[in-house]
Amino acid sequence: MALEVSHVVGGYSQIPVLKDISFDVKDGELVGLIGLNGAGKSTTINHVIGLLTPHQGTITLNGVTIDQDSQAYKQQIAYIPETPVLYQELTLREHLEVTMMAYDLDHEKAWTTAHKLLKTFRLDNKLDWFPANFSKGMKQKVMIVCAFLTPAKLFIIDEPFLGLDPLAVNDLLTLIEERKRQGASILMSTHVLDTAQRYCDRFVLLHDGQVKTEGTLSELQAALPEAGESLNDIYLSMTKVDRS
């Protein structure tokens, strides 16, 4: 069990956004976090990466909570934010180096990985540029390269598909596949349901700060037989109940 979120109540202020959330991500598993705008996806992710502290409940990552040993907890996580976040004053090369230093990686080995990733995402000739001036898609690629540079056990990817070109989306999915085979877990939030349906092993459907349901696609289909075949149909039918 890589990531275990159990009975988490939390949010940005005293008013909880998340109301008793529980789910898990196993080793080598890709879990899709699905929900409407404001359903609590980003809040959940912020709790997992340690930006927010839960009011109640615990989040454990391979047996460690952030309170027990924050360094050991953070060492296992690589995070790709929804909006690219960059250091204005650092070049692309320096972003990679800071990542290597922060995660205490062996520089020679890390650079081998880095060069491969840079080539894949066609950034290899931009090492001395300031990524802060890149286009949104390219900034996102920088985030991807920085994250996949680390040997993290859990990758947290917030809405990866918007802004990336089709080639990059494909490359990202291949990367995710590869890390999964090596035993890493991935928690990914997205609105792009048909891609999620094809690649995720399991789904956690968030609605209004609660886990509506979770499971594999066939489990979801079995639970809601009249909803329809696709993830899209299931999700729409689930939110409709709430609207009427």
Partner 1 sequence: MTGLFKTRLQRHLREMAKYLRLVFNDFFVFALLFFLGGLGLGYSNVLKQLRGHEWWAPLVALLVLTIVAQIGRLATLIEDADRVFLLPKERAMHAYLIAARRYSQVIAQATQVIAIFLLSPFLAVTLGWSVTPVLFLLVAQVVLKDTLLRLDLASAYQVTGQGRMNRWPIKWGLSLIILACGLWITPIVAVILAIVADVAVVVWFQQHWQTQQIRWREQIKIEDNRMLGIYRFFNMFTEVPMLSGTIKRRRYLDGIFHLIKPTHEQTYLYLFSRGMARGTEFSGLIVRLTVIGMLLLYFIRGKWLPVILAALFIYLIGFQLLPFFHQYDDIVFTHVYPVAAVQRLKSFVTLMTLILSVTAVLLWLVVVFANQQLLPAVVTLIVEALEVWYLARIYTPQRLKRSAENRA
Q: Where are the beta strands (DSSP E) in the chain?
A: 3-10, 18-25, 30-34, 56-61, 77-80, 154-158, 185-190, 202-207, 210-215
Q: Which listed residue (15, 37, 104, 243) binds partner 1 by CB under 8 A?
A: 104
Q: What's the CA gap between 233 and 176, in Å, rounded?
A: 26
Which of 130/199 has CB closer to partner 1?
130
| CB of 159 vs partner 1, minimal distance in Å | 14
The stretch near partner 1 (CB under 8 A) out of 22-30, 64-72, 170-178, 210-218 is 64-72
Q: Which listed residue (1, 102, 167, 223) binds partner 1 by CB under 8 A?
A: 102
- Partner residues linked to 56 by β-bridges: 9
Which of 141/212 has CB closer to partner 1?
141
| Residues in Cβ contact with 111 at an 8 Å cutoff, skipping those fewer than 6 apart | 96, 100
Q: Which listed residue (1, 101, 223, 236) binds partner 1 by CB under 8 A?
A: 101
Burial of 229 per CB tally in 10 Å (0-12, 13-18, 19+): exposed
**151 near partner 1, judged by CB under 8 A:** no
Pairing of strands 185-190, 154-158: parallel
Taking each continuous run of H as one helix and of E as one strand, the counts in the chain are 9, 9
| CB of 88 vs partner 1, minimal distance in Å | 5
* CA 227 to the chain's CA centroid: 27
Site size with partner 1, rule: CB under 8 A: 31
Residue holding tokens 């990202």? 172
**108 near partner 1, judged by CB under 8 A:** no
**94 near partner 1, judged by CB under 8 A:** yes
Q: What's the CA gap between 117 and 121, in Å, rounded?
A: 6
**12 near partner 1, judged by CB under 8 A:** no
**223 near partner 1, judged by CB under 8 A:** no
**49 near partner 1, judged by CB under 8 A:** yes
| CB of 82 vs partner 1, minimal distance in Å | 10
**189 near partner 1, judged by CB under 8 A:** no
Binding positions for partner 1, rule: CB under 8 A: 49-51, 70-75, 77, 79, 81, 85-91, 94, 97-104, 107, 130, 132
